[in-house]
Amino acid sequence: MSAYAVNKSASMEEINLLFFKAGGLRMAVEASQVSEMMDAEGAANSGLPLVRLDEMLPLPEGQTTQGKTFLIGGNKPYGVVVDSIDEIAAVGIDSLRPMPPLAASGSVAIWGVCLRGDDILLLVDFQRLAGPVQAEEKER
């Protein structure tokens, strides 16, 4: 299994974000939510429940299945499959914005956006995704 730890340190004025792509969208998650990143083989061998992000969010292009997996820790750890990982970077909180009210009525897991130059990246909260995932596990 190829796995490596995510640097979780960041000051109060900035946040460590892990930037990734899924379903044609560029997104970011707070790095501290991810305990490990694994390749497809490692994820398959881990025995953990895996969810594809496009099963949790309506993504425009769907997802590849051979992507990277984020291991989300907690009482019931699980993996979230994404298409690719871009970078991990400390980002000033002044570059984060809440989602405009009309656009915010969708998934609770999308909690805001990060501005990078002219680009907008969606901020995803995997802890908020965890609810449906763990409920699914309970049913099994």
- Contact set with another protein (CB under 8 A): 25, 57-60, 97-107, 110, 113, 115, 118-120, 122
SS (H, E, C) 49-86: CEEEHHHHCCCCCCCCCCCEEEEECCCCCEEEEECEEE
Cβ 106 to another protein shortest distance, Å: 3
- Closer of 36 and 83 to another protein (Cβ): 83
- Closer of 1 and 108 to another protein (Cβ): 108
Cβ 6 to another protein shortest distance, Å: 23
Local structure of 25: helix, strand or coil: strand
Cβ 105 to another protein shortest distance, Å: 6
- DSSP string of 88-131? EEEEEGGGEEEPPTTTTTS-TTEEEEEEETTEEEEEE-HHHHHH
What sign does the dihedral 11-22-110-133 (CA atoms) show?
A: negative
Q: How far, in Å, CA of 93 to CA of 54, rounded? A: 27
- Closer of 1 and 120 to another protein (Cβ): 120
- Closer of 47 and 100 to another protein (Cβ): 100
Cβ 103 to another protein shortest distance, Å: 4
- Closer of 56 and 71 to another protein (Cβ): 56
Cβ 107 to another protein shortest distance, Å: 4
